[in-house]
Chain A
Amino acid sequence: MIAELLAPAATASAECHADWLELRALLAGDLNSSLSDLARAIRSAGTIEAVIEQQMRDEGSSPDASWDWGEDFEEEISPAEFMERRDDLSEAVTDRASDELDDRALACGDAYPFTRGPQHLQARRYAVRSVYVFLLLLSTDGVRAGPPGLAATELFEDLAAVAAQSFFGRHEDVHVYHFGFPRRRTLRGFKPALDELCVRLGEGGSARSRPDQRHQKDAKLDLVTWRSFPDGRMGQLVAFGQCAAGADWTEKLSELQPRAFTGKWLTEPLGVEPTRMFFCPFRIEREGWETKVIDGGLLFDRCRIAHHCAEVDDELLDGCERFSAHVLEQRRAHA
């Protein structure tokens, strides 16, 4: 759903605050946002009080105090101390958001469509025609936010394929097979597509017949990337990838299990067990990254995808731009 740019809560993550700053820059006439904008928005939303209350609880200074300028609260914290805590918190929030923006710039490299100053973020003129902004808006506004007839999930899967290919190395021995349903470029049926994949891989035998096979669409497998050897023999670097563009992406992290997939659907095992890849348009928090890697394998979050999509063909980039321009226009109209 398209919504206006609401003030984020002070309790929201640094990633959420950084997203807000990026969106604000994209929506501003001068393509600029500042840490002061964030501090002001958080202060005016009033959620900083909730953080102070939580701090007090954590310190055990006022475990039962309800946030209220009267009674219990006034005994525990003076207005002056409140002001000091509010200022400290406000600065800590903007510090973390600023660090997160720096991390994004580092993670994306030249693909980051913003420039930084100590206090501000400036969107580049071409920002709306960038993979990064498409992924940002896909994560904040959802797959249905684009103009009618534009399939954002397909764009996302195409970008994932480009990123995977780039990560494996742009080389004639690196291949990508689109397996995700509905299949646009490969054979439509589940079994024929599996057979074709095995032929292209040069291993795996063929599709195994199972009673529940005809109900399968893609069994969670969206794309396969591999790097082969010129000798064509078995035993190569293979990765199975899953794409998750929606807000429920965390629930999908461990859905695709390559070993189970090959055991269940191929007549012969692959020589080397495939690696798992997981693609999402969100910026994954630093905290919890490790467990998400354990669950999802090679993670391609927004920044990693953008970094590896430096060479995207014009048609795909046109689609991204159409999506982004539409979403920003809708946001401006609703603001």
Chain B
Amino acid sequence: MLAEERLLLDAKNPRFYGVDGSSDQQSMLHTLWRDFAVDEIAYSIAANGYFAYEPLFATPEDGDHVVVEGNRRLAAVKLLRHPELRRAVGATDLPKISAKAVQALSELPVIVTSRELVWQYVGFKHVNGPQPWQSSSKAEYIAWVHNELGVSLQDIAGRIGDQHATVKRLYRGLMVLQQAEAVFDPSDRAKSHFSFSHLYTGLDYPGIRKFIGLTEARDFTPRPIARAKVPALGELCGWLFGSKSRKIAPLVRSQNPDLRKLDEILQSADGTAALRQGLPLDVSLDISRGDEKLFREALVDAKRKLQEARGKLLTGYTGEADLLQSAEQIGDLADSMVDEMQRIRRQRRRPPKRTARQR
């Protein structure tokens, strides 16, 4: 057991990645309260006390102990015990606990360890386990374990039970982002929240990979993108995240279907050129698909819709003149299209005229 006052919040907590706020204790407490749902834990501790079988993990630093696992729990305890901290962060909703309960929380169960020894547990719990961090925080943590502790990505995945290459993909995403920072400023993104998952998911898509020159050989290295392709990476980040200063909205609003659309566009030179001209995602997609594909899709779609309408005709049509007129127009349009298509087909099938020499 260690005294609560001797336990400090961890400035290196991956949750803080990309979040506003400085690293002094009160700022971190405020950030945890404001952004990371500390209230749910505080209510639980206020009602039940601190669960002794859930010790904090702390590492000795400068005479105190920095909690490397359990920062939200520590924040909750500090807020419950100290009214001045509650006032400082605006945690006015929290219940006041009795003097006895305050005393009971004065010491907390702590396992004293080091960051190096506890990473498997932290990784399991927050990367692949029950209390997930957001993807950018996961990636930061994996990169720290890999780059600072020298643990291979395969070992990290194995130790935390990742069977779906999540560890490798997150790491690659962060490395690509770090390379992108030479030409793209993440803090200039158009949206408040940084959708890191758009980037790390997109790196599996063939069109995006080709566009930024991501090859299997470089996939999971610290510098996955060749220097010559970094400008292209900057363009990609612009489409993914937009730019606040240049008032450019991101093209990708959601992974499904926007990220897929972007991938398809980047597989076509015409589509890519359209994006570079600043055309919207759907317009660029149409350009990338070309008229042949669009014609086929439109025809199949029209047939499906007409079949749907045919099925509802008996019960859905009550004699409206405008609908009959629409049906007649569709009939005329279809007839003229069939004539035109037959003419084109005849032309295409006709053998080319032989020249006098061939005769």
Contacts and interface: CB of A to CB of B under 8 A. Distances in A.
Interface of A: 28-32, 34-37, 39-40, 78, 80-81, 83-84, 86-88, 90-92, 94-96, 98-99, 101-102, 116-120, 122
Contacts of B130: 83
Contacts, number: 96
Nearest to A86: B132
Interface in B174-209: 190-195, 197
A286 to B, nearest CB: 8
22 contacts: A28-B93, A30-B91, A30-B93, A78-B163, A80-B128, A81-B163, A84-B128, A86-B132, A91-B134, A91-B135, A92-B197, A92-B255, A92-B256, A95-B197, A98-B191, A99-B191, A99-B253, A102-B190, A102-B191, A118-B193, A119-B193, A122-B34
B19 interface: yes
Interface in B98-140: 128-130, 132, 134-135
Contacts of A32: 34, 90
A41 B255 CA distance: 22
B164 interface: yes
Contacts of B129: 83
B89 A98 contact: no
A29 B91 CA distance: 7
B37 A37 contact: yes
B37 A118 contact: no
A29 B35 CA distance: 15
3 cross-chain pairs, A with B, having the tightest CB-CB distances, nearest first: A30-B90, A98-B193, A29-B92
Given A28-B93, A29-B91, A29-B93, A117 B34 contact: yes
Contacts of B18: 118
Given A29-B93, A81-B163, A83-B129, A117 B37 contact: no
Contact of B193 (A78, A99, A122): A99
Given A29-B92, A91-B134, A92-B255, A36 B35 contact: yes
Interface in B5-41: 18-20, 33-37, 40
B166 interface: yes
Contacts of A119: 19, 34-36, 193
Given A30-B91, A40-B40, A119-B36, 8 more contacts: A34-B35, A80-B162, A80-B164, A95-B193, A95-B254, A101-B192, A102-B193, A117-B35
A327 B135 CA distance: 37
Interface string B73-105: 000000000000000011111000000000000
Which of A95, A99, A116, A117 has the most C-beta atoms of chain B within 10 angstroms of its own C-beta?
A: A95
Chain B: number of interface residues, binned into ranges: 35 or more
A120 B91 contact: no
B161 interface: yes
Contacts of A96: 253-254
Interface SS majority for chain B: loop
Contacts of A83: 128-130, 132
B60 to A, nearest CB: 29
A140 to B, nearest CB: 21
B226 to A, nearest CB: 29
Contacts of B135: 87, 91
A36 B36 contact: yes
Given A99-B253, A118-B20, A30 B89 contact: yes
B157 to A, nearest CB: 11
B197 A91 contact: yes
A80 B192 contact: no
B221 to A, nearest CB: 23
A40 B128 contact: no
Contacts of A118: 18-20, 35, 192-194
Interface in B225-248: none
A86 B131 CA distance: 11
Nearest to A36: B37
A84 B37 contact: no
B192 A102 contact: yes
A94 B193 contact: yes
A106 B198 CA distance: 22
B133 to A, nearest CB: 9
A90 B37 CA distance: 15
A230 to B, nearest CB: 37
Nearest to A101: B192
